[in-house]
A and B are shown apart, each in its own frame.
Chain A
C-alpha cells in the first residue's frame, strides 16, 4: 500500500541465524505494528510501537525484538531464527490505536 513498505519481500534463512525485517512509512503515523500470519491462526500481534523508542509486546512476542529509532522505521528482529518462525509477517501503521490501520504487502520468511 502507498505509504508503507516492507523489506525484504521474501527471505530464506537458516535456523539459529538472526534476521531483521524492516517496515518503512512515509505517512508520519504514530503507531506501527508487526503481525504474523500462519494457516489456522489468523493474524497475531507480535509487537507494536506508540512512538519513537516506545514499544510494547503483543500476543506472540517470545523470540522477537523490535526497535524504533525514528518515526518512519520499525524493525523486527528474530534473535535466533527457528523453524516455528516460518511465517508471513505484516507491518501496519495507524494514526490512532483503535482503527484506521494500513497494512504493508508482507514479508514471507522461511527458516530452514
Chain B
C-alpha cells in the first residue's frame, strides 16, 4: 500500500481558500487518490476522489500533477463548519486489501 504524508495541522480563517497537500511518492499505477473528512464523534465521510489532473465537485477540488506523486485538496472559502480532520489515501480497487488512514490533517477555521 502506498503511504501518504500530510501536514499534522493547519489553521485558517473564514472565507479563505485552504489547500492541503499530500505526498504519495510510491503511488502505484492502479491507485486512486481519495480524501475523507471527519468531524468529532463521527465516522469519516468521502469528499473527493481522483486519478489524475483535476477533479471538482460541490465541496472541493482535487489537483493531481502528471507524476501523481502528490495531490492537493482545495477547499474554497472555508467556514467554521469546515473545521475537521482531513485524510488523504491512495488505494487500488483491485488489490483486495484495506486502506490505512493514518492521522490526517486537523484543519482549524477561526472567525
Chain A residues at the B interface, C-beta cutoff of 8 Å: 1, 31, 33, 35, 40-45, 48, 50, 56, 58-59, 90, 92, 96-106
Which residue in B45, B97, B102, B103 is a CB contact (below 8 Å) of A103? B45
Chain B residues at the A interface, C-beta cutoff of 8 Å: 30-32, 34, 36, 41-46, 49, 85, 87, 89, 91-104
Contact A97 B97 (CB under 8 A): yes
Contact A97 B101 (CB under 8 A): no
Contact A45 B100 (CB under 8 A): yes
Contact B94 A105 (CB under 8 A): no
Residues of A within 8 A of B102 (CB): 42-43
Contact A101 B93 (CB under 8 A): no
Residues of B within 8 A of A97 (CB): 91-99
Task: Provide 14 A-B residue pairs closer than 8 Å at the C-beta atoms, listed in order of the A residue.
Answer: A1-B43, A31-B98, A42-B85, A42-B101, A42-B104, A58-B98, A97-B99, A98-B91, A98-B93, A99-B34, A101-B99, A104-B43, A105-B42, A106-B42
Closest to B89 in A: A99
Contact A44 B46 (CB under 8 A): no
Contact B98 A45 (CB under 8 A): yes
Q: A42-B101, A43-B87 are in contact. Are A98 and B94 (CB under 8 A)?
A: yes
Residues of A within 8 A of B34 (CB): 98-100
Contact A43 B98 (CB under 8 A): no
Contact A43 B101 (CB under 8 A): yes
Q: A35-B101, A48-B98 are in contact. Are A99 and B43 (CB under 8 A)?
A: no
Contact B45 A98 (CB under 8 A): no
Q: How far is the CA of A43 from the CA of B31 in the complex (A)?
A: 20
